[in-house]
Amino acid sequence: MTKKIYEELQENCECARICGDYAEIVPDSLPDCALFLKDNGYDYLDMITASDHIDEFILTYTFKNLKDKDDVMLRASVSRENPEIPSLSNIWIGADFQERELYDLMGIIFTGHNNLKRIVLWDGFEGHPQRKDYKNVA
């Protein structure tokens, strides 16, 4: 049973497909989808996370509707050679730290973020540890 919001999302934005619990989107259409969701009541950005699938990174965004107690999950896939995706930190300030953490640990670059630095690890650290091909130097 697909939710109604996913169908509305597919009509209004460039959505690749709906797969049950989540909707896959093209990375460049992320701000439009996010703004659409925000206008329709899903205005709480809960989580931004990513996982490494060898040739691509898959980012997952979770939005929550606090009034109706409902949530929506979006997935975007970025390639390993060019891991760039537009940033949501202009729309939600809470996305600031989460995107910095993803840059720090996975090396995904969020375009439009005004302070993309390491946040969990220290400034001179080399490498992105949560990638599958990271080797521990020490």
Partner 1 sequence: MEINPQMIPSLDDADAYEGNIVEDLRRSSLEPLPEKVILSEEELKELNRNIIVTTLDDAINWAHKASLWPVTCFTACCTFEFIATSMARFDIARFGMEVLRPSPRQADLLMAAGTLSWKMAPQIKRIYEQMAEPKWVVAMGACAISGGIFQDSYAVVPGYNHIIPVDVYIPGCPPRPETLLYGLEQLRNKIGHESIRLENK
Binding site for partner 1 (CB under 8 A): 117-118, 120-125, 127, 129, 134, 136-138
Q: Which is nearer to partner 1, 27 or 129 (CB)?
A: 129
* Element housing 78 (H / E): strand 70-79
Q: Which is nearer to partner 1, 92 or 134 (CB)?
A: 134
Q: How far is the CB of 133 from partner 1 (least distance, A)?
A: 13
Q: How far is the CB of 125 from partner 1 (least distance, A)?
A: 7
Structure tokens at 77: 């896939």
Q: How far is the CB of 119 from partner 1 (least distance, A)?
A: 9
Q: Which is nearer to partner 1, 81 or 122 (CB)?
A: 122
Q: How far is the CB of 88 from partner 1 (least distance, A)?
A: 22
- Read out DSSP for 40-76? TT--EEEEEEEEE-SSEEEEEEEEEETTTTEEEEEEE
Q: Which is nearer to partner 1, 18 or 121 (CB)?
A: 121
In 3-state terms, what secondary structure has residue 138? coil
Residue 62 and residue 46 in contact, taking contact as beta carbons nearer than 8 Å? yes
Instruction: Please give the DSSP secondary-structure letter assigned to residue 110.
Output: E
